[in-house]
Amino acid sequence: MFSDIKFEAVSSISYLFVCLCFCILGLLTPGKACASGANYDVRIAVGRSLSKVRLDGRDMLVLDSDVGDVLLKTSKTLYVYCGSRGLKIRGVKVHPRAILIRTASAIKVNKRSLMGNVEIRKHGKGMLVVNRMPLERYLMGLLGAEMGPKWPMEALKAQAVAARTFFMHRRLDREDAPYDVSASTLDQVYRGIALESDKTRKAVEQTRGLVLTWANMPAETLFHACCGGRTHSSEEVFGGKITYLRAVDDPDCSKCPKHRWRVDLKLSKVSKKLVSRGWKGTIGKVKQKKGLLVFLGPGGRKLEMSQVDFRKLFGAVLIPSPWFVASQNGDTISLHGRGSGHGVGMCQWGARGMAERGEDFRSILNRYYPGCKLRKLF
């Protein structure tokens, strides 16, 4: 059974390559498109490093992924645990390294509703859970999680194209990895089928098969929640220059709740966090220069850290973006910031603002990915 699945995976990847090459190189006439495009499957990492997984679904067929044996068929809640020898399931004597769960209807994994097949694999010390489903269906749920099921139609369409392209780009990079995309902000957020709506379904259908290309390949269409008035170039944030990820002015995201924000941090809290970077003792002064924070302590101690790294240290929940001006007042530093997210590529709140004043998804994509071409792959 599993060998069939592996074969499908391999053949669909090769097919993707062939399809991409043929479509992108223009060997297929525009509009004719790859007929099986809708069959692209996405492998989404919906859970990582887990010690326990709860499964709920009707007529769940549980197979040993490696040998293909049917281990169990049940409609009862099923718990899977990670043991030292393999996966442990009540009532199953063997300890497989990986299991595949098939069901004709929706399946809940740790109470999150998903469609398609679910594979649970021992990975390092925990379990990796990968949901495999058709690309276009995945996008319908993704739009609800990344933007919101009720956002303006043209913004949702721009997001559908950006997310479809982002997946194509990641997939080419991760051919040998056990999944294509993670379900968190590490890649793009996916919270299952519960966030699909009529609007998100329509946005995906109306942009079916459309991707952005650069030099005949899927572009790296990064996006973020809100830029706060101007986006940032890829080299400012990630170090590498990507021609179409430029800093552009954005007057359309002012309704974002994080357009401007302020966070106050006690220096005692900061010094504790900096221990992981080799810092010892108290912080006397904090200075800021060219995207760097400079911490000064007694005895001439000094530590420089980029604002991007500083945000990583405290987490994106506490510090919405790396774009802030720091000021010190006694034992507190105040961060006066703008935007939410890394600030590179499409600003989702800006896309919403543009859609609200009547711009279409093409002009939204044009602003945030200048020079990229819109192509229909299927």
Q: Which two tokens mark 144?
A: 């609800």
Of 32-40, 146-154, 215-223, 224-232, the window that binds Zn ion (rule: CB under 5 A) is 224-232
Closest to Zn ion by CB, 119 or 250: 250
Q: Which member of 113, 223, 350, 351 binds Zn ion (CB under 5 A)? A: 350
Closest to Zn ion by CB, 230 or 376: 230
24 binding Zn ion? (CB under 5 A): no
Smallest gap from Cβ 321 to Zn ion, in A, equals 11
Smallest gap from Cβ 319 to Zn ion, in A, equals 18
Smallest gap from Cβ 258 to Zn ion, in A, equals 10
253 binding Zn ion? (CB under 5 A): yes
Which neighbouring-strand residues pair with 81?
A: 52, 88
Q: How far apart are CA 81 and CA 186, in angstroms?
A: 25
Residues that contact Zn ion, how many (by CB under 5 A): 5
Smallest gap from Cβ 350 to Zn ion, in A, equals 3
Closest to Zn ion by CB, 123 or 232: 232
227 binding Zn ion? (CB under 5 A): yes
Smallest gap from Cβ 368 to Zn ion, in A, equals 9
41 binding Zn ion? (CB under 5 A): no
Smallest gap from Cβ 175 to Zn ion, in A, equals 33
Closest to Zn ion by CB, 163 or 354: 354
Closest to Zn ion by CB, 237 or 293: 237
Smallest gap from Cβ 273 to Zn ion, in A, equals 29
Closest to Zn ion by CB, 320 or 350: 350
- State the pairing for strand pair 41-50/181-182: parallel
Q: Which member of 50, 237, 335, 347 binds Zn ion (CB under 5 A)? A: 347
Of 48-56, 108-116, 181-189, 242-250, the window that binds Zn ion (rule: CB under 5 A) is 242-250
Of 23-31, 204-212, 312-320, 340-348, the window that binds Zn ion (rule: CB under 5 A) is 340-348
Of 123-131, 202-210, 226-234, 361-369, the window that binds Zn ion (rule: CB under 5 A) is 226-234
222 binding Zn ion? (CB under 5 A): no
Binding residues among 280-299 for Zn ion as defined by CB under 5 A: none
Neighbours of 83 (CB within 10 A): 11
- State the pairing for strand pair 223-224/346-347: parallel
| Maximum C-alpha span of the chain | 71
Smallest gap from Cβ 231 to Zn ion, in A, equals 6
Q: Which two tokens mark 119?
A: 């594979």
Q: Which member of 250, 344, 351, 354 binds Zn ion (CB under 5 A)? A: 250
Closest to Zn ion by CB, 326 or 347: 347
Closest to Zn ion by CB, 179 or 361: 361
Closest to Zn ion by CB, 251 or 281: 251
Q: How far apart are CA 295 and CA 283, in angstroms?
A: 7
Cα dihedral 158→160→166→169 (10° resolution): -110
Closest to Zn ion by CB, 249 or 304: 249
Smallest gap from Cβ 168 to Zn ion, in A, equals 24
Contacting residues toward Zn ion, per CB under 5 A: 227, 250, 253, 347, 350
